[in-house]
Structure 1
Amino acid sequence: MNNEELQAVFNQQAASYDSQWAKLASLRDALNLLIGAVLSNLPTDARILSIGTGTGTEILSLAEKFPEWHFTAVEPSGSMLDVFRRKAEEQGIASRCTFHEGYLNSLPESEAFHAATSLLVSQFILEQDDRIEFFQSIKQRLRPDGYLINSDLSSDIDSYNYQNLLEIWMRMMSGADIGHEKREQMRAAYARDVAILPQEKVGGIIAAGGFEQPTLFYQCGLIHAWVTKAKAD
């Protein structure tokens, strides 16, 4: 699935995206709780880059905890970004947000960021060299000691454990407001459109993008999240 196809999918899902996954929100909330802890030592006026913002759940969570932080939201789906913009306005944080419809390479140059988040984004980059380049582009936007928090679906898909874990994962998905056909489409997409790699491989790709060796700080089912810092040039 290319970028245009992914963008069309997310545009179509935007209006119902949050309600569709509301019953599984505890997965997201647990990750956001830990992200807040990881970044809690940043300055009171920190600048945060969110790549693939979607409907903005991690920004909303961080904005509540850190009332002086500024956020730049990068999201190629205009419909998803519109949902986040409305929520930001409702929660009174829109003045602390920059909204960019597009990709990181089209974001205007600005002051370097203290941290970047990329949640369930790089898994859609199927070629390893392109995935490394993606992380390199993030590093270029960060301060020399800037944090990166990255999450992706991760597992050794050739292992016996993966097949068992996938079955458990799909049973969990039945708790969301999506039908059987949609769940089977997701299962097919995991094999075709998502680069699900072992956690050591993902960590190596992040490091190859110019970061210190990442630390895995969260795992729930197939979702893994790492934290690292930009490596000195």
Structure 2
Amino acid sequence: MRSDEITALFDQQAASYDERWARTAPIREALHFILEAVLAELPADARILSVGTGTGEEIVYLAKRFPRWSFTAVEPSGAMLDACRDKAVKGGFASRCHFHEGYLESLPDQGAFDGATCFLVSQFILDLEARADFFRAIATRLRPGAILASSDLASDTGSAQYDALLKPWLTMMAAAGISAAAVEQMRAAYVKDVAILPPARVASIIRSAGFDEPIPVYQAGLIHAWFSRREAADAP
């Protein structure tokens, strides 16, 4: 699926996106709880880059817990970004946010960020070199030593373990209220529209893009999350 097709899909889903995934909230909430601990060492006035923000759930969570942090939300879907902006206005922290509709390459220079989040985004980049370039673009926006927290669907799709895990994963989606037709669409998308790679391969891609060794910090079903640091400026 091309980037414009993905953007159009999320534009269509934006109005009902949070409601659709409401029953999978325990997965997201656990990830955010760990995210808070991972980023806790950042400065009191840290500047955070959120790549592929969606409706802005991680920004909402972090803004409540770190009242002096500021956020730059980067999201190609205008409808999703509008939902994020609406949450920031209602939450009273919109003045700490910059909203950019588009991709990283079109984001004006804002200086180096102290940290970044990128949740369930790079999995949609099917070309491996383009996926490395994506993480490299994030790295160039961060100060040396800054923390990237990222997650993606990850597994060795050729293994028996993946087959064993996929069944309860899709069962969980059905139990969360996702229609049978949508679950089957999800199964098909995992084959042709989502680059599900072994966790070690995803970590290797991140590492190759200018980060120290990614540290696995979370797994829930097919979702894996890591945190990694932007390499020092004098790193080889």
Q: Is the pair's TM-score, using the shorter chain for normalization, greater than 0.5?
A: yes
User: What residue number does 1:102 align with?
Assistant: 102
Rounded Cα–Cα distance in structure 2 between residues aligned with 1:232 and 1:69: 23
> What stretches of structure 1 move > 4 A for 4+ residues in a row?
none
For residues 217-232 of structure 1, what are the structure 2 equivalents within 5 Å? 217-232=217-232
Note if contact 1:24-1:175 (Cα within 8 Å) is conserved in structure 2: no
Rounded Cα–Cα distance in structure 2 between residues aligned with 1:157 and 1:169: 14
> Given residue 117 of structure 1, which amino acid in structure 2 is its aligned partner?
T
> Given residue 39 of structure 1, which amino acid in structure 2 is its aligned partner?
L
Q: Can you list the C-alpha shifts for 1:121-140, whole angstroms capped at 9, x where unaligned?
A: 00001111111111110000
Q: Can you list the C-alpha shifts for 1:107-148, whole angstroms capped at 9, x where unaligned?
A: 000121000111000000111111111111000000011111
User: What residue number does 2:115 align with?
Assistant: 115
User: What residue number does 1:81 align with?
Assistant: 81
Rounded Cα–Cα distance in structure 2 between residues aligned with 1:230 and 1:192: 31
Q: Please tell me whether residue 153 in structure 1 is matched to residue 153 in structure 2.
A: yes
Rounded Cα–Cα distance in structure 2 between residues aligned with 1:145 and 1:232: 6
Taking only aligned residues, the RMSD between alpha carbons, in angstroms, comes to 0.6
Rounded Cα–Cα distance in structure 2 between residues aligned with 1:122 and 1:209: 13
> Given residue 112 of structure 1, which amino acid in structure 2 is its aligned partner?
A
1:224 deviates by 0.3
Q: Can you list the C-alpha shifts for 1:202-229, whole angstroms capped at 9, x where unaligned?
A: 0100000010010000000000000000
What secondary structure is seen at the aligned counterpart in 2 of 1:212? coil
Give me the identity figure in percent.
56
Rounded Cα–Cα distance in structure 2 between residues aligned with 1:174 and 1:181: 10
Rounded Cα–Cα distance in structure 2 between residues aligned with 1:148 and 1:23: 27
Rounded Cα–Cα distance in structure 2 between residues aligned with 1:175 and 1:112: 42
> Given residue 220 of structure 2, which amino acid in structure 1 is its aligned partner?
C
User: What residue number does 2:210 align with?
Assistant: 210
User: What residue number does 1:92 align with?
Assistant: 92
Rounded Cα–Cα distance in structure 2 between residues aligned with 1:131 and 1:195: 10
Unaligned runs of 5+ in 1: none
1:185 deviates by 0.3
Rounded Cα–Cα distance in structure 2 between residues aligned with 1:11 and 1:29: 24
User: What residue number does 1:8 align with?
Assistant: 8
Rounded Cα–Cα distance in structure 2 between residues aligned with 1:109 and 1:172: 41
Give the aligned length. Answer: 233
For residues 1-233 of structure 1, what are the structure 2 equivalents within 5 Å? 1-233=1-233
Rounded Cα–Cα distance in structure 1 between residues aligned with 2:24 and 2:150: 20
Q: Can you list the C-alpha shifts for 1:171-204, whole angstroms capped at 9, x where unaligned?
A: 0001223210011001100000111011110010
Note if contact 1:215-1:226 (Cα within 8 Å) is conserved in structure 2: yes
Note if contact 1:50-1:72 (Cα within 8 Å) is conserved in structure 2: yes
> Given residue 80 of structure 2, which amino acid in structure 1 is its aligned partner?
M
TM-score, normalised via structure 2 length:
0.98
Rounded Cα–Cα distance in structure 2 between residues aligned with 1:31 and 1:100: 24
> Given residue 24 of structure 1, which amino acid in structure 2 is its aligned partner?
T
